[in-house]
Structure 1
Amino acid sequence: MKSWKDVLIQPQTTILETMKIIDATTMQFAAVVDSNMFLLGTVTDGDIRRGILKGLSLDSTISNVMNTSPICELNGKKSFYYKKRMRERKLKQLPLVSNDNLLKNIVFSDELELTIKKTNKVVLMVGGLGTRLRPLTDTIPKPMLNVGNKPIVETIIESFKAYGFTNFVLSVNYKKEMIMDYFQDGAHLGVNIEYIEESERLGTAGALSLLSDKPSEPFFVMNGDLLTKINFEQLLDFHNETNSSATICVREYEYQIPYGVIETDNHQLLSIVEKPVHKSFVNAGIYILNPTALEYIPNGDFFDMPELYKKLLHEQKKVSAFPLREYWLDIGRLDDYEKANTDFGKSFGFGEIKDE
């Protein structure tokens, strides 16, 4: 744990600089103060992502996204008081201020030994054919291809475990025996693993209709061919804070039109823009669903996750987008697989992952 003063920033600090501080300190939080230590606001990872979705530039000042009315407590009380208040409000950090709102300290939940048990299920879709990776997938299912020294899906499981998520459901189909023999009940990895066995392919959402034990709280769904350094705890927090029925992770994608783009008004030429670059958000294959979303999935029919989200939108359910800014790679083609092996050492050099 670093000093709480490491997360202090000025209101003119840019969003990009704040992101670096939040990531470097691992506290997922920053406090905005003036030169006299007057508390102006606080910033979480979720605040930043919401600002990005609104189109704010990373060069914008943090004052554009900070929470100007954060929950605070007066400094100088006993630790058990702060512990109780944080538990009641499910806070991970609590600024302590003087009577005139000068920041005196920041208490973090792990300093008070507040262990938040994460029982949320993680459903991994690992039943695909992996046709674009043939001939590699002729004899082995794509999620079992080694990246570094372990199968892709094992790295995914370790990534979730690092944030305290240990309850997994693997949806299997193609060469399912290889996956089930390798992972079994997950005990050797320190997790719990159950299986959905698709007799026929039902799609990334349709397979959820086979869940025997329906989740009672928000749960993750993720494609089994992705490598990412996303903070899954932050993703769950974002989903809960926005009171969403469903959350979809999105990735910014740039593409360049290889021609000069013409704008006209009837016959009159208005402008020529040479080879413009366009940016869009695309589906990143990582989702969180509330249990009620399962009611919109048909039984026994092929049904992909984008179709479920369209249905939720049609029913006017609240659906949120969580922008990824971390490392992310979809291992869909042979060149992606080669890149994954190149990236693995520097991006996924897991040490010992401790149980909570």
Structure 2
Amino acid sequence: MKTIILCGGMGTRLREETEYKPKPMVEIGGKPILWHIMKHYSFYGYNEFVLALGYKGNVIRDYFLNYFNYNSDFTVDLSAGGKVSIHNHSESENWKITLVETGADSMTGYRVKLCAPYLTDERFMLTYGDAVSNVDIASLVKFHKEMDTIGTVTGVFPPSRFGDLILEGKMVKKFKQQLKDVEHQSPINGGYFVFKREFLDAIPNDPTVDLEKLPIDTIVEKHQLSVYRHSDFWQCMDTFRDNQLLNKMWVENPIWKLWQ
């Protein structure tokens, strides 16, 4: 099963990093967040990726075309016409990556539509290129197959950024910083989708189509979107503050790092 990763957004709330690179190439611990996402899927044995490129997509193309050069020691022999010898393959991955140009201004639904020719299985996975998690991909896929719905979305429960006030009348009964109430809180869309291939039929061939609107609404109306509840770690990287947090976590306790 292949995994589409949406890599075309500009990341306007992360301008400190995205002026010269696309959001999925913003680094955590010296590696693009895109790399972290791919390592996560690869840990569960899913090594085929379709990257939907857009804003500054050439940065992503360059990274993978020169992957060994960026992640290895090497020698350039100019006397032999610039022959390159790679010395250590410390970052050798069992990945097969298809890079698809989907337009700088396209919406997410259209980006997925343009990836359709490269999807060869009856199901595919899809996620955003700006969030990391320790979601159990094997359990997610198993759940999707058991539910037998057209689509499954992973519902996550991020803690409140500003804290929560527990009230008793007009008085504060308790103040909880970064409360996560899985029992009563509604989950939010955390990405990590699994779809049957027929979902692609619900996406019009229109650059203005947003994945989360018409296509998703279509299968919701048919009662064909199930939710896989993930109450453990999930963190998006929308802002510079998020990026700083993830870099701090990478040093102290990278919960999403399941691989060795």
Alpha-carbon deviations, 1:247-304, whole Å to 9, x = none? 011112566776968xxxxxxxxxx475698622111122111100100001023222
| Alpha-carbon contact 1:257-1:275 (below 8 Å) kept | no
Match of 1:146 in 2: 27
| Alpha-carbon contact 2:6-2:127 (below 8 Å) kept | yes
Q: Does 1:339 align with 2:245?
A: yes
| Alpha-carbon contact 2:107-2:210 (below 8 Å) kept | yes
Q: Specify which of 267, 277, 295 is matched with residue 201 of structure 2.
A: 295
Q: CA deviation at 1:317?
A: 4.1
| Alpha-carbon contact 1:184-1:193 (below 8 Å) kept | no
Match of 1:306 in 2: 212
Q: CA deviation at 1:350?
A: 6.0
Aligned letter for 1:283? N
Q: CA deviation at 1:199?
A: 2.4
Q: 1:232 to 1:321 in 2, by over 3 A?
A: same
Q: Which has the higher contact order (CA 8 A, sep 6+)?
A: 2
| Alpha-carbon contact 1:132-1:333 (below 8 Å) kept | yes
Match of 1:329 in 2: 235
| Alpha-carbon contact 1:254-1:280 (below 8 Å) kept | no
Q: Does 1:222 align with 2:139?
A: no
Q: 1:289 to 1:333 in 2, by over 3 A?
A: same
SS at match of 1:240: helix
Q: CA deviation at 1:217?
A: 1.8
- Identity percentage of aligned residues: 25
Rg bigger for which structure? 1
Q: 1:175 to 1:343 in 2, by over 3 A?
A: same
Alpha-carbon deviations, 1:157-211, whole Å to 9, x = none? 1111111001100001111111011123989422100022022433222211112
Q: 1:154 to 1:160 in 2, by over 3 A?
A: same
Q: TM (normalized to structure 2)?
A: 0.77
Aligned letter for 2:17? L
| Alpha-carbon contact 1:225-1:332 (below 8 Å) kept | yes
C-alpha separation between the residues in 1 aligned to 2:204 and 2:106?
10
**How many equivalent residue pairs?**
222
| Alpha-carbon contact 1:122-1:221 (below 8 Å) kept | yes
Match of 2:107 in 1: 203
Q: 1:200 to 1:337 in 2, by over 3 A?
A: closer
Q: CA deviation at 1:330?
A: 0.3
Aligned letter for 2:237? I
Question: Any gaps of 5 or more consecutive residues in structure 2?
Answer: 69-91, 174-180
Q: 1:233 to 1:259 in 2, by over 3 A?
A: closer
Match of 1:91 in 2: none
Question: Any gaps of 5 or more consecutive residues in structure 1?
Answer: 1-119, 262-271
